[in-house]
Amino acid sequence: MTEETNAIPASLPLRNDLIGETPYGAPQLDVPVCLNVNENPYEPNLDVCATIARRVGEIAHTLNRYPDREHIALRQAFSDYLAKESGTRLAVDQLWGANGSNEIMLQLFQAFGGPGRTALGCDPTYSMYPEYARDTFTGWKLAHRNADFTLDVDAAIAAIHEIKPSMVILTSPNNPTGTPLPPADLERILEVCETADVAGAADGVHPIVVVDEAYVEFRNPGTPSAVTLIAQHPNLAVSRTMSKAFAFAGARVGYLAASKGIIDCVRIVRMPYHLSAVTQAAALAALEHTDEQLSQVAHLRETREATAAWLKTQTYQGRPLEVAASESNFLLFGGHFDQRDRIFDELLKRGVLIRVVGPDGWLRVCMGTDDEMARFREALAEVLHIVE
Site residues (vs ligand PMP, CB under 6 A): 38, 100-102, 126, 171, 175, 212, 214, 241, 243, 249, 254
Find the shortest distance in angstroms from Cβ 363 to ligand PMP.
Answer: 16
When the beta carbons of 249 and 387 are compared against ligand PMP, the nearer one is 249
When the beta carbons of 175 and 280 are compared against ligand PMP, the nearer one is 175
Give the whole-angstrom CA distance, residue 44 versus residue 305.
Answer: 24
Give the whole-angstrom CA distance, residue 279 versus residue 256.
Answer: 16
Find the shortest distance in angstroms from Cβ 323 to ligand PMP.
Answer: 19
As a dihedral over the C-alpha atoms of residue 36, residue 252, residue 326, residue 169, rounded to 10 degrees, the angle is 120
Give the whole-angstrom CA distance, residue 112 versus residue 138.
Answer: 9
Find the shortest distance in angstroms from Cβ 318 to ligand PMP.
Answer: 33
The residue whose Cβ lies closest to ligand PMP is 100
Axis-axis angle for helices 370-386, 340-349 (nearest 10) = 130
Q: For residue 239, what are the β-bridge partners?
A: 212, 256
When the beta carbons of 247 and 384 are compared against ligand PMP, the nearer one is 247
When the beta carbons of 126 and 149 are compared against ligand PMP, the nearer one is 126
When the beta carbons of 36 and 79 are compared against ligand PMP, the nearer one is 36
Give the whole-angstrom CA distance, residue 71 versus residue 96.
Answer: 8
Find the shortest distance in angstroms from Cβ 102 to ligand PMP.
Answer: 3
DSSP state of 225: P
Q: Assess contact for 375 and 194: CB atoms under 8 A.
A: no
Find the shortest distance in angstroms from Cβ 46 to ligand PMP.
Answer: 24
Q: What region does 361 belong to: left with phi over 0, alpha with psi -120 to 50, or beta?
A: left
When the beta carbons of 27 and 206 are compared against ligand PMP, the nearer one is 27
Find the shortest distance in angstroms from Cβ 339 to ligand PMP.
Answer: 25
Strands 167-171 and 118-123: parallel
